[in-house]
Amino acid sequence: MNKVDIIIIGGGAAGWAAALSAVQENQSVFLFEKLSESGGSSAKSGGCLAFAGTQLQRDNNVEDSPDLLYRDLIEIGKQENDPVLVRTYCDTQLSVYQWLVDIGVRFSPLMETASGQSVPRVHSVDPADMVRLMQSLAIKSNQCTYKNECQIKSLISENGVVKGVTDTNGNNYYANKGVIIASGGFAKNPEMLRRFAPQYAEAIVVAGDGSTGDGLKMGWKLGADLRDMAYIKGTFGKHPTDEHSEHSLQAVYKGAIAVNQNGKRFVNESISYKLLGDAVMSQPWNVAYQIMDQAIFDTGDDRVRILDFGRRLEEGLFIVGDTLDEIAAMAEIDQQTLNDTVNRYNEYVESGEDLEFGRTNMVHRHGSLVKIEKPPFYAYPSTAVVFGTYCGLRIDDTARVINVDDEVIGGLYAAGEVTGGFHGAAYMTGSALGKAVVFGRIAALEAAKK
């Protein structure tokens, strides 16, 4: 029988959080995954989730609250985000954190260096393990039928209400209570990326292979409104030629500066790495170098992928020299200009005022700036990488999809990267994976109530 309570399109963090939440409410579920394996971008991710007010924070003497999280999210989103969605996330995230802990997800460590956070609130996890755990518990319930290698092509809508889905082989599946689109973003769809973010058309893309915008197009076809399409951004800090490491490196958040091929700084290095992504894409050859000294290098953290300087050094990705002249020569930067840039920056640190870019802290509003003076010196070549698109279907606080006339599209929910409106103009570390789990769970609990 091709009918269940809830149909879920996509097996990433949003899809499996929805599936597990639904079966825990005694709902029958179909989850369709177009690839042979679930996981999507979620499993590839850095495993950072933004939660506020948790026991892990208290254990680390970090005072945080949903209200402070709200303020930070709105600030980093430049007030372009939908305050209702942000409020919903902030009010729900603690219970979702607890739900994850209760099912057996273990978070550690609390990461201190993250974009857009007034206090440390990145809870680290092995993201592939987290998705696998939700998947195995959902399937174990016998309430969830999982179909992999099954690509959903379209939604079945009757009198404006979504009743089911059709796969690429023409099979129809029906849902009594609702269809949840959890199909991720469209970073791996070059045509869509070029249309919505031409500045990133030539950028490096690292994302799940299924991130081709299928769900966004399905909702769009039914008249769904779209949000945040103008704010697609790459993440700063990807080595331009290394193909082994998919992750970025954020030495700037430990006090490094970023200089372009002309040896000049071009941005306040403490802002969101998404805004740094935009900045580097407007530099010559879309490239910059994160410049640091031994003291900054020593603050790397091998437990956190984006701060694991030692591993990148072992992989031969750093340019290292006893003098700034040496690293300038290896990076083909004018030596005098690089020396002048570093000396000027050190004067700013000493005087407490960055006269060029107004940098005041290492990251966001925390961490004091440090001089770059203790040899050897290091340069990490960096460009921007598109990890995700973070924009798309407009939803309300119960994850229902809203059309261009401000009306709910009956029977249709969406969660995770396929949705827009939550991030606004920029992005806080941990908020995309967090949003996937939080809104995946909200969508399922809402659909189950019907």
In the complex, the residues that contact ligand FAD under the rule CB under 6 A are: 9-15, 32-35, 38-42, 44-48, 151-152, 182-184, 206-208, 210-211, 214-215, 246, 387-388, 416-417, 430-434, 436
446 with 105: CB under 8 angstroms? Answer: no
Q: How far is the CB of 131 from ligand FAD (least distance, A)?
A: 7
Bridge partners (DSSP) listed for residue 385? 204, 235
Residue 393 or residue 436: which is nearer to ligand FAD going by CB?
436
Token pair listed for 422: 């939550």
Residue 315 or residue 347: which is nearer to ligand FAD going by CB?
315
Q: How far is the CB of 410 from ligand FAD (least distance, A)?
A: 21
* Helix orientation angle between 13-24 and 431-449, rounded to the nearest 10 degrees: 30
Q: How far is the CB of 245 from ligand FAD (least distance, A)?
A: 10
Residue 348 or residue 390: which is nearer to ligand FAD going by CB?
390
Of the candidates 84, 172, 180, 184, the one whose C-alpha atom is nearest the C-alpha of residue 424 is: 84
Residue 291 or residue 437: which is nearer to ligand FAD going by CB?
437
Q: How far is the CB of 325 from ligand FAD (least distance, A)?
A: 35
Q: How far is the CB of 306 from ligand FAD (least distance, A)?
A: 8
Residue 321 or residue 392: which is nearer to ligand FAD going by CB?
392
Residue 18 or residue 342: which is nearer to ligand FAD going by CB?
18
Q: Strands 48-50 and 152-158, how do they pair?
A: unpaired
Q: How far is the CB of 390 from ligand FAD (least distance, A)?
A: 7
Please report, as a single letter, which amino acid is at residue 431.
S
Q: Which residues contact 413 (CB under 8 A, 6 or more apart)?
A: 178, 179, 180, 181, 395, 398, 399, 400, 401, 443, 446, 447
Residue 359 or residue 364: which is nearer to ligand FAD going by CB?
364
167 with 153: CB under 8 angstroms? Answer: yes
Q: How far is the CB of 43 from ligand FAD (least distance, A)?
A: 7
Bridge partners (DSSP) listed for residue 292? 378
